[in-house]
Amino acid sequence: MKVLVVGFGSIGKRHINNLLKYPNVELIICTRKNSINLETRKIFKIVQSIEQGINENPDIAFITNVTSAHVSTAIKLAESGIDLFIEKPLSNSMESIDKLSEIVQKKKINVMVGCNFRFHECLKKIKELLDENVIGNVISVKVECGSYLPDWHPNEDYRNGYAARKALGGGIVLTCIHEIDYLYWFFGEVDDVVSFSGKYSDLELDVDDLSTALLKFKKNIIAEVHLDFFQRKDFRSCKIIGKKGTIYWDSDTNLVKLFEINENKWIEILKISDYDRNQMFMKELDYYFDCINQNKEPMNNISETKKILKIALGIIESSKTKKVVEI
C-alpha cells in the first residue's frame, strides 16, 4: 500500500513514524524542506509537489501541512481518487469545503479528519457511560484544555509554527479543536455559541491565546469550554453533570470517576497509569485502515467535521461580534 504524506512538520513526522510500523506501507513524503538527512532519504521517496506525489499513484494520502492549506490540498488529491486522512482541523474557514465534499462523493473515496482524542481510552469510557445513560439526562458540562505553547516542540521556535500564526490557520480555538470535537461526539449538534476570546499572554503570537465559550446543544445541554496557550503545567479535564450523577476525568490522573447520587460517593471507573499518548494515534490509524479495508465510512468524515468546524468558527465570530452566534 502506497501512502503519500503531505507535510513534514511535527504531526507529519509522528504519522510517518507510526506508518513505518505497518509492514505493508510504502511511504512517499511531499515536502520542500531541505533539512531531511541522507539516511531519511534512503528510507522514503521524496517529492516536492502534490502533482509529483499524485504521479507516484498513492492509495492513501495523509494531509499534515498547515491548516490553511488542508482543503486546497485535499481537493487536488481527491480529484485523483485518492483516499484521504486529513489532520485536524479540517480548515480555518468554510471556503471550498462543499466543493471537496462533492468531489469525495463523486469519486467515492474514503475521508477521515484526524481527531485522536476520540481514541483516548478515558474519553471512550466516558462515551460508553453516556451511551448507557448512567448519569441520566445531562444538564451541564465543563471542559478545559490549557498548555504552554513554547513547550509543545522545544526544539522549534513556537513563533514560526502554524498554531501561532493567523495566516496558517492557527489560534487557540482551531488548534485545540479536540474539546469541541469530543463534545460533539458525546452530545451531537449545537444550536448557539457565545464566547470571549483574545490574546492575553506575553507570548509572541498574532492569534488568540485564550478562549472561554458557552455552547448550547440541541439536547438542551450547556457546556463551558476553556482553552488556552499559556497554562503550566498542561492540563485537560472534563466534568459532566447529569440528573443521576457526575462523570469526571482529568489528564493529571487519567482517572475516570463517577459520583453516584444514591451512594453519595465517587466510584473509580477506569484508571490508566503511565499513559502513552501515541497510543491514540496508533488506534486512530488502525481504525482508519479498517474503514478503508471494509469500505466503511469513518466517523469524523467530511459531513461531520464540517459541523464541528462551524462550531469552532462560531466561537471565533461570537468573540469578534460580541453576540450569540447561531450555528
The pLDDT tens digits for 7-37 are: 999 999 999 999 999 999 999 999 987 666 6
Pairing mode, if any, of strands 255-260 and 265-271?
Answer: antiparallel
**Rounded-to-integer distance, Cα 299 and Cα 111, Å:** 9
The CATH number of the domain holding residue 189 is: 3.30.360.10
One domain for residues 153 and 74: no
Burial class (CB in 10 A: 0-12, 13-18, 19+), 290: exposed
One domain for residues 38 and 147: no
The count of structural domains within the chain is 2
The mean pLDDT of 68-72, rounded to a whole number, is 98
Per this entry, what is the length of the chain?
A: 327
One domain for residues 321 and 172: yes
What is the overall mean pLDDT for the chain? 95
pLDDT tens digits, 260-300: 998 899 999 999 998 899 999 999 999 999 999 999 999 99
- Enter the C-alpha cell of residue 207: 492569534
- Enter the C-alpha cell of residue 3: 501512502
User: Phi-psi region for residue 144, left (φ > 0), alpha (ψ -120 to 50) or beta?
Assistant: beta
Q: Which pLDDT value is given to residue 81?
A: 97
**Rounded-to-integer distance, Cα 35 and Cα 134, Å:** 52
The answer as to whether 79 is a domain residue is: yes
Range of the structural domain that residue 185 is part of: 117-277+299-326
The answer as to whether 293 is a domain residue is: no
One domain for residues 177 and 317: yes
**What pTM was estimated for this model as a whole?**
0.95
The answer as to whether 288 is a domain residue is: no
One domain for residues 155 and 208: yes
CB 11 within 8 A of CB 67: no
The mean pLDDT of 228-232, rounded to a whole number, is 97
One domain for residues 44 and 67: yes
CB 312 within 8 A of CB 173: yes
Angle formed by the axes of helices 97-107 and 70-79, nearest 10° = 20
Last residue of a domain, one of 114, 129, 154: 114
Last residue of a domain, one of 99, 114, 129: 114
- Enter the C-alpha cell of residue 230: 499559556
**Rounded-to-integer distance, Cα 163 and Cα 161, Å:** 5
The answer as to whether 287 is a domain residue is: no
Q: Which residues, 6 or more positions from 144, have their beta carbon under 8 angstroms from its beta carbon? A: 179, 225, 226, 227, 235, 236, 237, 238
CB 172 within 8 A of CB 207: yes
